[in-house]
Each structure stands twice: as structure tokens, then as C-alpha cells.
């Protein structure tokens, strides 16, 4: 998980929801049985059903972190004490 979304979205210790997501994805992959004798719609239905839990966990995991992470970025960008001169355009009235 840390390699995909970075340290801000991954817990420093093993366990918790992060492990549940990885295990859930592995389980869904193991449990999906593509059958070329079935209509494609049935294979799609099975795949979607297996991934629903994984997506629900992933959304909950990211939502909790984004609720903290994004306001933190905005606060830093809007803080007048933070020097952003290297990214700011040249002033109009020097």
C-alpha cells in the first residue's frame, strides 16, 4: 500500500484496515473463477460482487485520511507565514 499511495495514506505499523484491504483483494482474486462457457455478463457480475467489499474498505480507508490530509495542505498553502515565493508569480507592482 505504501508504494502505491505513499506514506501519508499508509499506517506505519502492519495491521488494521490496510491489511484488510490487501487481504480482501487477494481473496477476491482467488475466488474469482472466470468461466468462458458462461455469458460474459455472469463473469462481470461475479467480478463486481467480489470487488464491492474491497472498494467499500478502500473508500473508507482513503476517506478518513483525506479528511485530515487535504485540509492540512490547504491550511499550509493559505498560511501567510509559509513562503511560497519559488512557486508564486512575479508581483505586478514591485
Residue 57 lies in a domain: yes
Residue 17: pLDDT over 80: no
Residue 25 lies in a domain: yes
Residue 9 lies in a domain: yes
Residue 88 lies in a domain: no
At residue 67, the pLDDT reads 85
Residue 58 lies in a domain: yes
Higher pLDDT, 5 or 20: 20
Domain of 49, in residue numbers = 2-67
For residue range 73-86, what is the model confidence (pLDDT) as tens digits? 788 778 888 776 66
Number of domains composing the chain: 1
| Long-range CB pairs of 64-70, under 8 A, 24+ apart, other chains included | 65/8, 65/9, 69/8, 69/9
Residue 93 lies in a domain: no
Residue 8 lies in a domain: yes
Residue 86 lies in a domain: no
Amino acid at each position: 500500500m505504501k508504494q502505491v499511495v505513499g506514506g501519508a495514506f499508509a499506517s506505519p505499523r502492519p495491521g488494521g484496515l490496510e491489511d484488510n484491504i490487501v487481504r480482501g483483494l487477494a481473496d477476491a482474486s482467488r475466488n474469482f473463477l472466470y468461466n468462458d462457457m458462461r455469458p460474459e455478463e455472469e463473469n462481470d457480475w461475479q467480478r463486481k460482487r467480489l470487488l464491492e467489499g474491497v472498494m467499500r474498505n478502500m473508500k473508507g480507508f482513503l476517506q478518513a485520511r483525506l479528511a485530515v490530509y487535504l485540509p492540512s495542505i490547504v491550511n499550509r498553502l493559505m498560511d501567510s507565514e509559509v513562503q511560497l515565493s519559488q512557486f508564486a508569480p512575479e508581483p505586478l507592482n514591485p
